[in-house]
Structure 1
Amino acid sequence: MTDTVEKLDYSTTLYLPQTDFPMRAGLPQKEPEIVARWQKMGLYKKLRASAAGREKFVLHDGPPYANGNIHIGHALNKILKDVITRSFQMRGYDSNYVPGWDCHGLPIEWKIEEKYREKGKNKDEVPVNEFRQECRDFAAGWIKIQSEEFKRLGIEGDFENPYTTMNFHAEARIAGELMKIAKSGQLYRGSKPIMWSVVERTALAEAEVEYADVESDMIWVKFPVAKGPEGLRDAFVVIWTTTPWTIPGNRAIAYSSRYAYGLYEVTSAENDFGPQPGEKLVFAKRLADESAAKAMVTFTFLRDVKADELAAITCSHPLHGLGGGYHFDVPLLDGDHVTDDAGTGFVHTAPSHGREDFDAWTDKARELEARGISSAIPFPVDDAGFFTVDAPGFGPDAEGGAGRVIDDKGKKGDANERVIKALIARHALFARGRLKHSYPHSWRSKKPVIFRNTPQWFVYMDKELGDGTTLRSRSLSAIDATRFVPAAGQNRLRAMIENRPDWVLSRQRAWGVPIAIFADEEGEILVDEAVNARILDAFEKEGADAWFAEGAKERFLGNDHDHARWHQVRDILDVWFDSGSTHVFTLEDRPDLKWPADVYLEGSDQHRGWFHSSLLESCATRGRAPYNAVVTHGFTMDEKGEKMSKSKGNVVSPQDIMKDAGADILRLWVMTTDYWEDQRLGKAIIQTNIDAYRKLRNTIRWMLGTLAHDKGEEFAYADLPDLEKLMLHRLAELDRMVRDGYDAFDFKRIARALIDFANVELSAFYFDIRKDTLYCDAPSSLRRRAALFVIRKIFDCLVTWLAPMLPFTTEEAWLSRNPGAESVHLEQFAAVSSEWRNDALVARWHKIREVRKVVTGALEIERKDKRIGSSLEAAPVVYVADPELLKALEGEDFADICITSAITIEPSEGPADAFRLDEVAKVSVVPSLAEGRKCARSWRITTDVGSDPDYPDVSARDAAALREWAALR
Structure 2
Amino acid sequence: MPDLKDTLNLLKTPFPMKGDLPTREPELVKRWAEQRVYERMRAAAAGRPPFILHDGPPYANGDIHIGHAVNKVLKDMVFKSRFFDGFDSQWIPGWDCHGMPIEHRIEQTNGRGLPTEQVQQLCRDYALQQTQSQKKDFLRLGLLGDWDRAFRTMDFETEANEIRFLDRIRQRGLLFRGQKPVNWCVDCQSALAEAELEYAPKRSTTAYVGLLALDAVDFASRFKCQPMPGKQARLTIWTTTPWTLPGNVAVGLDPRASYGLYDTPNGMLVMAAETGGKLLAGLGIDHELCAVAPGLDLVGLRLKHPLLDTEVPLVAADFVSLDTGTGLVHLAPAHGAEDFELCRSLGIGGENVIDGAGRFVAGLPMVGGMGLEEGSKLILDMLQADGSLLKQERIEHSYPHCWRHKTPILFRSTTQWFIGMDRRATGDTRTLRETAREAIRDVPFYPASGRSRMEAMIDGRPDWCVSRQRTWGVPLPFFVRRSDKSLHPQTARLVEEVALRIEREGISAWTRLKPADLGVDEAEYEKLSDTLDVWFDSGSIHATVYRDARRPDAHGYPADLYLEGSDQHRGWFGSSLMTGCAADARAPFKAVLTHGFAVDGDGKKMSKSLGNTVSPQQVASTRGADIIRLWIASTDYSTDISVSEEILDRVVEMYRRIRNTIRFLLLNVSDFDATADCMRAQDLESVDQYAMLRCRELAEQCRKSYREYDFVAVTRLLHGYCADELGGFYLDVLKDRLYASARDSRERRSAQTALHAILKNLLLLTAPILSFTAEEAWAVLFKSQEDSVFVHIWDEAMPPRIDDSKVSEFWRQVRLLRPNVMKAIEDIRSSGAIGRSSEASIVIEAPVGIVESLALLGSELPSIFMVADVALKESDAVEVKVRRTSSLRCMRCWRHDATVTDDAEQKMLCGRCRTVLSGLLELNDA
The answer for the alignment partner of 1:459 in structure 2 is 419
The answer for the alignment partner of 2:139 in structure 1 is 151
The answer for the alignment partner of 1:36 in structure 2 is 30
Post-superposition CA distance 1:73-98 (Å, at most 9, x none): 11111111111111122232222221
Opposite residue 601 of structure 1, the aligned amino acid is L
The answer for the alignment partner of 1:256 in structure 2 is 254
The answer for the alignment partner of 1:913 in structure 2 is none
Opposite residue 747 of structure 1, the aligned amino acid is F
1:905 counterpart SS class:
strand
Distance across 2 between alignment mates of 1:389 and 1:237? 30
- Does residue 47 in structure 1 map to residue 41 in structure 2? yes
Distance across 2 between alignment mates of 1:704 and 1:184? 62
- Contact residue 378 and residue 390 of structure 1 kept, 8 A: no
From 207, 217, 237, the equivalent of 2:205 is 217
The answer for the alignment partner of 2:336 in structure 1 is 354
The answer for the alignment partner of 2:376 in structure 1 is 416
Seq. identity, %? 39
Opposite residue 566 of structure 1, the aligned amino acid is Y
The answer for the alignment partner of 1:445 in structure 2 is 405
Distance across 2 between alignment mates of 1:865 and 1:586? 73
2:669 counterpart SS class:
helix
The answer for the alignment partner of 1:711 in structure 2 is 673
Distance across 2 between alignment mates of 1:44 and 1:306? 71
Distance across 2 between alignment mates of 1:455 and 1:888? 85
Opposite residue 815 of structure 1, the aligned amino acid is A
Post-superposition CA distance 1:499-535 (Å, at most 9, x none): 2111101111100001111112433222413322221
- Does residue 826 in structure 1 map to residue 785 in structure 2? no
- Contact residue 294 and residue 431 of structure 1 kept, 8 A: no
Deviation at 1:691, TM superposition (A): 0.8
The answer for the alignment partner of 1:805 in structure 2 is 769
From 944, 952, 955, the equivalent of 2:899 is 944
Q: 195-204 or 520-529, which moves further after superposition?
A: 520-529
- Does residue 494 in structure 1 map to residue 455 in structure 2? yes
Opposite residue 866 of structure 2, the aligned amino acid is I
Deviation at 1:283, TM superposition (A): 1.3
Distance 1:261 1:720, change over 3 A: same
Post-superposition CA distance 1:282-330 (Å, at most 9, x none): 11112212321343211111011223431131111121xxxxxx23322
- Contact residue 732 and residue 836 of structure 1 kept, 8 A: no
The answer for the alignment partner of 1:904 in structure 2 is 871
1:692 counterpart SS class:
helix
- Does residue 174 in structure 1 map to residue 174 in structure 2? no
What residue ranges of structure 2 are gaps of 5+ in the alignment?
none
- Contact residue 100 and residue 162 of structure 1 kept, 8 A: yes
Distance across 2 between alignment mates of 1:287 and 1:701? 74
Distance 1:837 1:506, change over 3 A: farther
The answer for the alignment partner of 1:773 in structure 2 is 737
Deviation at 1:346, TM superposition (A): 0.9
From 806, 809, 820, the equivalent of 1:854 is 820
Deviation at 1:486, TM superposition (A): 1.2
From 229, 246, 259, the equivalent of 2:219 is 229
Distance 1:671 1:308, change over 3 A: closer
Deviation at 1:925, TM superposition (A): 2.2
Opposite residue 72 of structure 1, the aligned amino acid is I
Q: 727-736 or 449-458, which moves further after superposition?
A: 727-736
The answer for the alignment partner of 1:89 in structure 2 is 83
Deviation at 1:437, TM superposition (A): 1.2
Q: 102-111 or 382-391, which moves further after superposition?
A: 382-391
Distance across 1 between alignment mates of 2:251 and 2:807? 79
The answer for the alignment partner of 2:314 in structure 1 is 332
The answer for the alignment partner of 2:607 in structure 1 is 645
Distance across 2 between alignment mates of 1:357 and 1:860? 79
The answer for the alignment partner of 1:889 in structure 2 is 854
- Contact residue 98 and residue 157 of structure 1 kept, 8 A: yes
Distance across 2 between alignment mates of 1:967 and 1:477? 80
- Contact residue 204 and residue 394 of structure 2 kept, 8 A: yes
Opposite residue 386 of structure 1, the aligned amino acid is R
Deviation at 1:49, TM superposition (A): 2.5
The answer for the alignment partner of 2:746 in structure 1 is 782
The answer for the alignment partner of 1:761 in structure 2 is 725
Deviation at 1:673, TM superposition (A): 0.6
TM-score normalised by length of structure 2: 0.95
Post-superposition CA distance 1:904-934 (Å, at most 9, x none): 222236xxxxxxxxxxxx3222221111211
From 535, 545, 552, the equivalent of 1:586 is 545
- Contact residue 174 and residue 424 of structure 2 kept, 8 A: no
The answer for the alignment partner of 1:871 in structure 2 is 837
* Superposition CA RMSD, Å: 1.7
1:836 counterpart SS class:
coil
Post-superposition CA distance 1:347-373 (Å, at most 9, x none): 2211111111112211222xxxxxxxx
Deviation at 1:837, TM superposition (A): 6.8
- Does residue 791 in structure 1 map to residue 740 in structure 2? no
- Does residue 965 in structure 1 map to residue 924 in structure 2? no
2:201 counterpart SS class:
strand
The answer for the alignment partner of 1:120 in structure 2 is none
- Does residue 737 in structure 1 map to residue 692 in structure 2? no
What aligned pairs does 1:278-677 form with structure 2 within 5 A after superposition?
Answer: 279-319=267-307, 326-365=308-347, 375-389=348-362, 391-396=364-369, 402=370, 404-405=371-372, 413-465=373-425, 466-521=427-482, 522-528=484-490, 529-549=492-512, 551-556=513-518, 558=519, 561-589=520-548, 590-592=551-553, 593-677=555-639
1:110 counterpart SS class:
helix
Distance across 2 between alignment mates of 1:865 and 1:709? 42
Distance 1:481 1:837, change over 3 A: farther
How many residues are paired up?
A: 902
Distance across 2 between alignment mates of 1:565 and 1:389? 29
The answer for the alignment partner of 1:323 in structure 2 is none
Q: 221-230 or 795-804, which moves further after superposition?
A: 221-230
Opposite residue 928 of structure 1, the aligned amino acid is R
- Does residue 137 in structure 1 map to residue 125 in structure 2? yes
Distance across 2 between alignment mates of 1:773 and 1:487? 49
Distance across 2 between alignment mates of 1:756 and 1:552? 68
2:607 counterpart SS class:
coil
Distance across 2 between alignment mates of 1:732 and 1:455? 64
- Contact residue 245 and residue 415 of structure 1 kept, 8 A: yes
- Contact residue 212 and residue 439 of structure 1 kept, 8 A: yes
The answer for the alignment partner of 1:408 in structure 2 is none
Deviation at 1:281, TM superposition (A): 0.8
From 95, 115, 119, the equivalent of 1:127 is 115
Deviation at 1:763, TM superposition (A): 1.3
The answer for the alignment partner of 1:914 in structure 2 is none
Opposite residue 807 of structure 2, the aligned amino acid is L
- Contact residue 422 and residue 432 of structure 2 kept, 8 A: yes
- Contact residue 335 and residue 352 of structure 2 kept, 8 A: no
Opposite residue 363 of structure 1, the aligned amino acid is S
Post-superposition CA distance 1:804-828 (Å, at most 9, x none): 1111111110111112352111222
Distance across 1 between alignment mates of 2:905 and 2:776? 44
- Contact residue 458 and residue 503 of structure 1 kept, 8 A: yes
Distance 1:458 1:874, change over 3 A: same
Distance across 1 between alignment mates of 2:46 and 2:466? 40
